[in-house]
Amino acid sequence: MSVSYRTTRRTGLRALMLLVTMAALGVGMAQSTQAASITFNPLGGGGGAGAYSITGYNYATSSALVSGIAAPVVGVPFNVYYESVISQTTGTPSSVGADYSINGSANQFTVIAGFRETITSIAPDGTLTFGLASGPAFSTSTASPNFFMIFATPKGTVNPSFGTGAGFGSGTEILRGHLVSDNFGGSFALTQVGGVPVVGAFNTSGLATAITTGTSLLGGGGTQLTVVTDTFSTAYYPTNPGSLIFSTTNSLPFAAVAPLSGFYSSPNGGVPNITYPGSPTSGFNPGAINAVVDGPFATDNSLMFQTVATSSFTTTIPEPASFVQAATAAAFVPLFLAFRRFRAKKSEA
């Protein structure tokens, strides 16, 4: 079936408006999120021996910390911290040693992250949803953190399964990025019976921890983050790794690992040094019952989750500048059409 249209100046202008508007919108939408392969060299030799194509990383089960929260209140921001070690590359299989060295590298590859979050809703069934509250740029400030960093750390330095958390954030920084709001989402569902949250053992892993918290609310959830790369080492990433989608699965109790008693206590400096026990500004303490405010805020200001994470690399995520470009291009549409009408009237005269 075919449809014929009468070609008039008005029809031509409408068609022109549609095409130019679509082109203008294309400026902002051209950078959509798509899975991507990047080149990674765990030996630190750039694009030479040891380099291969990967699509992302898997991370060892470890700990996440929510710091500076007195009670679950919608709209009140708090900080979230995470640390672990890369346990596998995806896309191309890798050989990972017991010390988390990859393909015979001399290093473990440790990751640390910090960001500011807020509760956006609390449902009657005990499900909490979260939104990103960090600023728009990289920051390691404990007032408003927004960072994601990967380090090549000499193997044997860190252990994500138990201990003080010392050594995370040390070694050679190979990637630095910050979170953006694109695709951000998170939730955690408390286990309830008859509408009452269930309390159980905090640490059932059988591994020792310095944290004296004995019990915890139980439940599970997850978070998805978009990280835009700010800087990277060409020795480990011969080409720009772009952006990545970082996803976590959070659960209570700690069943596979013991809760770490410190975050980012590295010799490098430049990242928060958060230890247990501590004050609201320099440390954390989940109290007697994790996720329950059961003491003064000065000593019970935090909660912890067992966390396992994965990440996948993507094409560049649109930053606000690209949307400004789109708006700028769209703004020229009526000007261009006015110019065309002026030209048409002039020729008719």
Q: What average pLDDT is seen over the chain? A: 81
152 and 81 in a common domain: yes
Listed residue (347, 340, 240) closest to 19, CA to CA: 340
164 and 114 in a common domain: yes
Residue 32: how many CA atoms within 13 Å on its side-chain side? 5
Which pLDDT does position 253 carry in this prediction? 98
Instruction: Dump pLDDT digits (tens) for 162-216.
Output: 999 888 989 999 999 999 999 999 999 999 999 899 999 999 999 999 999 999 9
23: in domain? no
Place of tokens 């606000």: 320
Pair 78, 68: CB distance under 8 Å? yes
Kindly state the tokens that stand for 153. Answer: 């750390």
325 and 307 in a common domain: no
Which pLDDT does position 327 carry in this prediction? 38
Residue 118's H or E segment, with its range, is: strand 107-122
182 and 275 in a common domain: yes
Those residues whose C-beta lies under 8 Å from the C-beta of residue 70, and which sit 6 or more positions away, are: 293, 297, 301
325 and 202 in a common domain: no
171 and 312 in a common domain: yes
Name the maximum alpha-carbon separation found in the chain.
Answer: 91
Domain count, the chain: 2
Residue-range definition of the domain harbouring residue 325: 319-349
Instruction: Dump pLDDT digits (tens) for 272-322.
Output: 888 888 765 678 888 889 988 665 444 557 899 999 999 999 975 444 444
Quote the Cα angle for 91-224-256, to 5°.
Answer: 75
Which pLDDT does position 209 carry in this prediction? 95
Place of tokens 């209570």: 252
Separation CA 282–CA 260 (nearest Å): 16
3: in domain? no
Kindly state the tokens that stand for 128. Answer: 């909490």
